[in-house]
Amino acid sequence: MTERRVVVTGIGTINPLGNNIEEYFSNLEKGVSGAAPITHFDAEKFKTKFACEVKNYDSNLYFDRKEVRKYDLFTQYALIAATQAVEDSALDLEAVDKEQVGVIWSSGIGGIKSFFDECLGWAAGDGTPRFSPFFIPRMISDIAAGFISMKYGFMGPNYCTVSACASSNHGMIAAFDAIRYGKADVMVAGGSEAAVNEPSVGGFNSMQALSTRNDDPQHASRPFDKDRDGFVIGEGAGALIFEEYEHAKARGAKIYCEIIGGGASADAYHFTAPHPEGKGAMKSMRDAIKDAGIKPEDIDYVNVHGTSTPAGDIPELKAVAGVLGDHVYNVNISSTKSMTGHLLGAAGAAEALACIFAITHGVIPPTINCDNLDPEIDPNLNLTLNKAQKREVRCALSNTFGFGGHNSTVIFRKI
């Protein structure tokens, strides 16, 4: 079967750098940090008291009271970003064959806050099981994909990918495959996470995974810096409309770029730590490049997973160098998590949008807060430190990796 080309015709987001695409792109270029003291709950007794939260969020601006009862925050973010993307695509919702439009949405944790609150409510009682009928639907990770499809009547492939912080990339690869292999003409892809809450922050703190730079949150996410001490948790959503190229052309759609390849692998090493030699990461990138039908030398920009952890940053850079060879010195590399924090299951979607920004604007978003490069890192790498750089980007590669040893890579190309 001849593979079909797949392009991006709509984008949307709500994340710590902006509640829409325009704000997000502007703050990416400026190198703005989304970190600030936590407002979602009282974090005074927690080791980490800050996060990258969505700013100025009021659910009443987007949903009525009945809807809010049904939607966990991660679902709210999903619906907001997906709605922006559908509207941006200018898809004719009356004319399109809705059986050929699907939704693959991703989340690493889903409605953990709903689960936590419901269990607290039960534990505070006399043991009588009094649970909300919305409890299970609010909690399960697949529900966002369902609600997006219900809003628009999209009847194509519909499910959720869950692979920790690799979730969104895996979901985008699945959506890409659905179109190129003829199972759909249009797909809504993306991810959302709402994990700035007590169980998530407390759980990651117990693993020593989060930065505890409470006196200086805006400089806490510092990938590649020798003083990095963990990631900064974030929240939000990113959405992309994937569309078969001829279908998009026929309706005169605006086209941002095309998605050309995806790769996935396992470290098969440790349940939370990445492989120290980056073996799984290298396989994921090589498979994506092979899938795209390009050469390593065609890559101009790599948006790395780059979480700002002592264990993760260096193996990934070694893996990138291992895949690109000497060409690694010709590419721009950056970690936008230095600004957004780590959106967990939504990270891949937010970072795919950062790649699209680089392709469409000719600007590489920076890695901020790297003041003292880790001496183990090759100083000749262009890590786009602290300031955006102008550059034509034809091909951008984005990595996301997750607990369990999950690795995923997607590649976008200018069209």
Q: Could you give the residue numbers annotated as active site? A: 165
Phi first, then psi: give them for residue 266, nearest 5 degrees.
-125, 145
Contacts 24+ apart (CB under 8 A), 202-211: 202/46, 204/48, 204/233, 205/46, 205/47, 205/48, 207/272, 209/309, 210/47, 210/48, 211/48, 211/308
Cα-based distances in Å from 362 to 122, 238, 301, 373, 390? 53, 21, 11, 26, 6
Residue 297's identity, in one-letter code, is E
Alpha-helical regions (H) of 181-312: 198-206, 245-250, 279-292
Q: Which residues of 327-354 are buried (b: 16+ CB within 10 A; e: fewer)?
A: ebeebbbbbbbbbbbbbbbbbbbbbbbb
